[in-house]
């Protein structure tokens, strides 16, 4: 538009490069756990942040409590990869399995994964 700065950009990848990229990336629904294991710490943290932004919710602080971060995901490879990524990030996942079934995913239950602080020390220190 004349006189206005455009903030959007369009990027195009060549077909051979796009095929190579998708082959190297793998299929998240099939290879999710292996992908998480092959990531560097920084990559895993970025992936987990993306999962929180796409499928999660961060409840704001209340009083002196820390914010609560939860990710909802249909049971399966991706949900298990999220749990693994949380463990590998040094935090502890708490998984709640909903008895409700997702209508679009057939009989697969829904997981709510809460990211909590790790437990260290004896039970008295928790």
For residue 3, the model assigns a pLDDT of 63
The strand pairing partners of 106, in sequence order, are none
Axis crossing angle, helix 41-55 with helix 77-88, rounded to the nearest 10: 130
Number of structural domains found in the chain: 1
Residue 66 lies in a domain: yes
Q: Domain span at residue 97?
A: 26-118
CATH number of the domain that 88 lies in? Answer: 3.10.28.10
- pLDDT, average across residues 117-124: 71
Distance from chain centroid for Cα 101: 21
Residue 18 lies in a domain: no
Distance CA 68, CA 101 (A): 24
- pLDDT, average across residues 71-78: 93
For residue 50, the model assigns a pLDDT of 95
**Under 8 Å CB-to-CB from 13, ≥6 apart: which residues?**
21
> pLDDT, tens digit, for every residue of 16-73?
998 888 887 777 777 899 999 989 999 999 999 999 999 999 998 888 788 899 999 9
In this prediction the pTM is 0.73
């Amino acid at each position: 538009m004349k006189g206005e700065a455009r903030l959007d950009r369009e990027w195009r990848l060549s077909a051979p490069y796009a095929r190579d990229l998708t082959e190297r990336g793998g299929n998240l629904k099939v290879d999710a756990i292996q992908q998480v294991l092959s990531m560097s710490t920084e990559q895993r943290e970025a992936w987990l942040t993306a999962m929180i932004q796409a499928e999660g919710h961060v409840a704001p602080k209340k009083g002196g409590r820390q914010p609560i971060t939860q990710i909802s995901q249909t049971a399966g490879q991706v949900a298990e990869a999220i749990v693994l990524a949380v463990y590998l990030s040094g935090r502890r996942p708490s998984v709640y399995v909903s008895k409700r079934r997702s209508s679009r995913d057939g009989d697969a239950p829904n997981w709510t994964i809460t990211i909590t602080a790790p437990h260290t020390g004896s039970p008295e220190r928790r």
